[in-house]
């Protein structure tokens, strides 16, 4: 018994010791958390920086945090999920952060407040005169301030759910006063520019960017968070905790997040605005937005941009306005359109009533007819204000009837009706009864309002039509064989467009891989159309819309509205223009039954007269100045014998340019500048070798001509060009910057001209439109000045012998410079001609006496200049005048 009593006594002592240890641990833990329970703050406890409250089921945590990327100390009190990474859902002092870690969150004088060690208050709740206030963080993420009475009953005084910051959590109350304000940035909880709220007038959800609507829900909602309810967040289901939240992001996106338990991370499952077109009124009033197009905005048919400069720069907010102020009596039907509902629907028996209702109201802009799914009654919606927030090609869209004058959407009686939001301007054709038959390559789907371009390789969606530029855009699926690079080089072949087709793929192509578009692998291709010939006709009545024209049979047996003798057809303006205006844009599209001298003689004579007068005035002004220059620099010129000796010494001795007033470049520096003559640097190929673009240290760009080693004539032409150009200085002659001789390598270095050669522009359907008549005249005048210098003003009289459009280069200001003097010959004194047994040059530009007898003179260059001038005016090459059959050249045509 004594032993048993001793054992019992020993156990009691040990139990007493364990009780003391447990009590001490409890005190330590309570002291560590700063509160009586890990999720509660009482009047006797607090939370300091470094401590946190954790909800009962370890879902949410409250404490101090600071932006990780900020260089300054900023401390906030917030609530976040306990899972990683830290996801903050509520911030107390978002407008007033602490600048150190002395903050304490505690209950005092009826407040729950945040203060620092000096007692300065940074945030607080309202004041409540209660004796036993407790703050508790529950498992919904709600921080609740209770008053506990003597019976232990809790009464809510304040809760964070009624004061959200940027996040809506499950269990929050759905009422019209709920507002979410974004953070300023990813690391700054201060109130940002975007606010999510209810539109009090339209009863819809809205995101505001300061005072401007950024996004607004389409449909009316009975509750402020009907959208939230549709996302399976219900107000009454408070027992189930859902890891779901809606965030007003600092980017302006309203986001819905769900926690993926498998991935243990948050997943963004819904957001608005989803794309550019979802932003409120992105294209402005009367502007339609199509997310599938690279250029998302276009004005509705019959409308034009209010501010063209901004619209062309990609700023669409100003929207569009009507082409004319008077309303018509018809309506343009646009399929699958979506825009904000009007607030004044009415019930009717049929769609005609809605049409008449809009017609009877001068303020009515548009209407639509919707069938109710419940009572099957027709609901007529009319708009009396400007149409806003328009989106096209929408699956849940409807037929919209917009009031537009017929004259605004059909500028000619031959124009096809618009297809959806795309105009179909003349000569484009969607059927045999409109447009020009040659351009009948389009199809309009009357159900969807979609315009398609039909080619032998398939049909392609037309996304945009620009009548002024004669360009339309199509969409193509991006495949390995069809990409932008392929379209640049062989777009017409890919679409199987033959040479007789009036359509041509331009060099402009863009991939459409934006996150906005559901089309993730498409390219957008630009296609131009050629100006049409005169309109077809059956009788003179068909030509009434084209004044000064008469229905006549052409040489091909087809009837067209041919312009009268004093007028010429303007294919771009679609009119017969007076001949005296000088509008020559399409004069060479005439049928061959009309005499060509009426088309060619007058403009050529005018151009020659202007050129002669300008050259004479310029020469008179400059003759004295050039006389002084020639006298001052006479000592710099050698005799012809000295020049020949210099040429021989350069080649035979292989020296580095001694005696030639042109810098010598070493071969290694040229290799470095051209990446070892890589194909990427190649600009083209001349008569005696390829030409490369070189870039030297400092950024200087130079054109580098490398004589082909297999050319038997290369050495002679090389020396000729070095010596001649070294002695020539004129603004309309290309400037030689240096040369190089090393072994068999013979290289010339010229100034680099970015606009390439003249033939690159005038023989291209698209680029030729950039050459206005003023520019073409200046080019003709510049070439004439260069020839005059070679023939008369330089001491060494030079005959070029190979003047052609490909040897006329254009600088950045489109000023011409004569190049390629490899075939040039120098004649002495007053000599004006010479002869050779070896005729060189380019057929089509050679004078007859030179091509047949080998006799060349200054007149030979003048003959070549005349051919070049004809090509500049007509846009046709002398060797391929394709509008007339069985005609050998441009200059021989009816001359």
Q: What are phi and psi of 153, to 5 degrees?
A: -80, 140
**Residue 802 known to be catalytic:** yes
Residue 639 is classified by DSSP as P
> Are the C-beta atoms of residues 463 and 290 closer than 8 Å to each other?
yes
User: What is the CA 874 to chain-centroid distance, rounded?
Assistant: 33
Rounded to a whole number of angstroms, the distance between the first and last alpha carbons of the chain is 147
3-state secondary structure of 206: strand
> What is the 3 state secondary structure string of 473-527?
EEEEECCCCCCHHHHHHHHHHHCCCCCCCCEEEEEEEEEECCCCCCCCCEEEEEE
**What is d(CA 58, CA 39) in angstroms, rounded to the nearest whole number?**
9
**What is d(CA 325, CA 738) in angstroms, rounded to the nearest whole number?**
65
> Are the C-beta atoms of residues 785 and 626 closer than 8 Å to each other?
no
Tokens of 881: 């005048």
- If phi over 0 gives left and psi between -120 and 50 gives alpha, with beta otherwise, what is residue 402? beta
Query: Using a CB cutoff of 8 Å and minimum separation of 24, what contacts does 266-271 make?
Result: 266/87, 270/231
3-state secondary structure of 338: strand
Task: Compute CA distances 25 → 21, 30, 307, whole Å.
Answer: 6, 8, 75
Tokens of 412: 């000619």
- Burial (0-12, 13-18, 19+ Cβ within 10 Å), 614: middle
> Are the C-beta atoms of residues 404 and 328 closer than 8 Å to each other?
yes
3-state secondary structure of 541: helix
User: Do the bridges between strand 143-148 and strand 133-137 make them parallel or antiparallel, or are there none, so unpaired?
Assistant: antiparallel
Q: What are phi and psi of 654, to 5 degrees?
A: 65, 35
Task: Compute CA distances 1 → 4, 6, 8, whole Å.
Answer: 5, 8, 10
Task: Compute CA distances 792 → 394, 619, 625, 818, 828, whole Å.
Answer: 71, 11, 14, 16, 12
* Extended beta strands in 341-470, E state: 346-348, 366-371, 378-383, 390-391, 398-403, 416-419, 422-424, 442-445, 450-455, 458-466
Preceding peptide of 273 cis, ω within 30°: yes
**What is d(CA 176, CA 162) in angstroms, rounded to the nearest whole number?**
12
Closest alpha carbon to 317 in 302, 305, 304:
305
> Are the C-beta atoms of residues 509 and 484 closer than 8 Å to each other?
yes
Q: Which of 49, 436, 473, 802 is catalytic?
A: 802
**What is d(CA 735, CA 730) in angstroms, rounded to the nearest whole number?**
8
* Extended beta strands in 33-93, E state: 40-41, 46-48, 52-54, 60-65, 76-81, 88-91
**What is d(CA 729, CA 794) in angstroms, rounded to the nearest whole number?**
9
3-state secondary structure of 205: strand
Q: Which residues are catalytically annotated?
A: 802
């Amino acid at each position: 018994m004594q032993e048993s009593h001793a054992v019992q006594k020993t156990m009691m002592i040990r139990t007493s010791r364990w009780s003391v240890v447990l009590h001490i641990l409890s005190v330590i833990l309570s002291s560590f958390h700063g509160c009586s329970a890990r999720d509660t703050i009482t009047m006797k406890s607090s939370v300091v920086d470094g401590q946190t409250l954790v909800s009962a089921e370890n879902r949410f945590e409250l404490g101090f945090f600071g932006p990780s990327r900020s260089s300054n100390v900023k401390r906030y009190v917030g609530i976040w999920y306990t899972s990683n990474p830290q996801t903050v859902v509520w911030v107390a002092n978002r407008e007033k952060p602490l600048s150190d870690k002395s903050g304490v969150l505690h209950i005092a004088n009826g407040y729950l407040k945040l203060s620092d060690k000096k007692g300065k208050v940074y945030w607080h709740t309202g004041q409540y005169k209660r004796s036993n206030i407790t703050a508790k963080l529950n498992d919904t993420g709600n921080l609740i301030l209770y008053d506990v009475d003597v019976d232990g009953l809790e009464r809510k005084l304040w809760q964070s759910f009624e004061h959200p910051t940027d996040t809506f959590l499950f269990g929050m109350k759905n009422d019209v006063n709920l507002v979410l304000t974004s953070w300023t940035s990813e690391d700054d909880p201060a109130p940002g520019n975007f606010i999510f709220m209810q539109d009090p007038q339209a009863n819809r959800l809205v995101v505001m960017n300061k005072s401007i609507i950024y996004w607004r829900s389409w449909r009316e909602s009975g509750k402020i968070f009907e959208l939230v309810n549709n996302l399976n967040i219900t107000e009454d289901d408070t027992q189930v905790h859902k890891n779901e939240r809606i965030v007003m992001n600092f980017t302006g996106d309203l986001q819905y997040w769900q926690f993926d338990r498998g991935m243990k991370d948050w997943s963004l499952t819904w957001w608005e605005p989803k794309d550019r077109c979802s932003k409120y009124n992105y294209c402005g009033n009367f502007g339609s937005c199509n997310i599938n197009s690279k250029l998302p905005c276009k004005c509705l048919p019959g409308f034009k941009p209010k501010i063209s400069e901004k619209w062309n720069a990609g700023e669409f907010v100003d929207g569009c306005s009507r082409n004319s102020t008077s309303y018509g009596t018809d309506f343009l039907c646009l399929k699958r359109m979506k825009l904000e509902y009007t607030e004044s629907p009415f019930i009717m028996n049929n769609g005609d009533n809605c049409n008449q209702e809009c017609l009877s109201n001068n303020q009515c802009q548009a209407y639509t007819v919707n069938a109710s799914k419940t009572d099957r009654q027709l609901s007529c919606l009319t708009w009396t204000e400007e149409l806003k927030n328009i989106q096209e090609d929408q699956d849940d869209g409807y037929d919209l009837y917009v009031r537009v004058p017929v004259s605004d959407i059909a500028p000619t009686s031959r124009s096809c009706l618009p297809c959806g939001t795309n105009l179909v301007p003349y000569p484009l054709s969607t059927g045999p009864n409109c447009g020009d038959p040659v351009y009948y390559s389009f199809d309009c789907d009357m159900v969807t309002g979609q315009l398609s371009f039909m080619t032998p390789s398939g049909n392609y969606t037309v996304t945009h039509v620009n009548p002024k530029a004669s360009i339309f855009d199509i969409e193509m699926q991006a495949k390995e064989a069809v990409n932008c690079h392929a379209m640049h080089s062989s777009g017409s072949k890919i679409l199987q467009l033959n040479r007789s087709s009036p359509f041509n793929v331009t060099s402009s192509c863009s991939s459409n891989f934006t996150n906005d578009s559901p089309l993730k692998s498409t390219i957008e291709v630009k296609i131009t159309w050629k100006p049409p010939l005169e309109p077809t006709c059956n009788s003179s009545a068909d030509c009434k819309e084209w004044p000064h024209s008469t229905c006549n049979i052409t040489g091909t047996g087809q009837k067209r509205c041919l312009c009268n003798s004093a007028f010429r057809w303007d294919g771009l303006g679609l009119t017969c223009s007076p001949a005296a205006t000088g509008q020559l844009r399409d004069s060479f599209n005439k049928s061959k039954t009309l005499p060509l001298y009426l088309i060619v003689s007058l403009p050529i004579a005018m151009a020659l007269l202007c050129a002669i007068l300008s050259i004479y005035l310029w020469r008179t002004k400059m003759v004295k100045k050039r006389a002084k220059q020639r006298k001052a620099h006479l000592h710099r010129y050698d005799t012809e014998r000295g020049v020949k000796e210099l040429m021989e010494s350069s080649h035979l001795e292989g020296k580095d340019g001694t005696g030639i007033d042109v810098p010598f470049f070493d071969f290694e520096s040229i290799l470095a500048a051209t990446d070892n003559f890589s194909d990427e640097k190649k600009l083209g190929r001349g008569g005696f070798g390829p030409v490369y673009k070189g870039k030297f240290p400092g950024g200087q760009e130079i054109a580098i001509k490398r004589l082909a080693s297999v050319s038997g004539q290369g050495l002679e032409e090389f020396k000729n060009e070095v010596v001649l150009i070294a002695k020539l200085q004129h603004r309309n002659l290309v400037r030689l910057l240096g040369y190089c001789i090393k072994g068999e390598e013979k290289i010339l270095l010229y100034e680099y001209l970015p606009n390439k050669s003249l033939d690159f522009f005038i023989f291209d359907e698209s680029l030729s439109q950039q050459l206005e008549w003023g520019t073409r005249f200046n080019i003709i005048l510049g070439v004439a000045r260069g020839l005059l210098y070679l023939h008369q003003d330089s001491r060494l009289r030079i005959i070029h012998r190979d003047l052609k459009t490909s040897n006329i280069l254009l600088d950045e200001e489109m000023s011409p410079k004569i190049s390629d003097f490899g075939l040039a010959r120098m004649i002495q004194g007053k000599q004006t001609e010479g002869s050779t047994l070896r005729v060189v040059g380019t057929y089509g530009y050679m004078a007859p006496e030179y091509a047949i007898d080998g006799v060349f003179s200054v007149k030979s260059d003048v003959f070549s200049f005349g051919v070049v001038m004809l090509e500049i005016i007509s846009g046709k090459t002398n060797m391929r005048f394709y509008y007339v059959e069985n005609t050998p050249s441009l200059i021989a045509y009816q001359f």
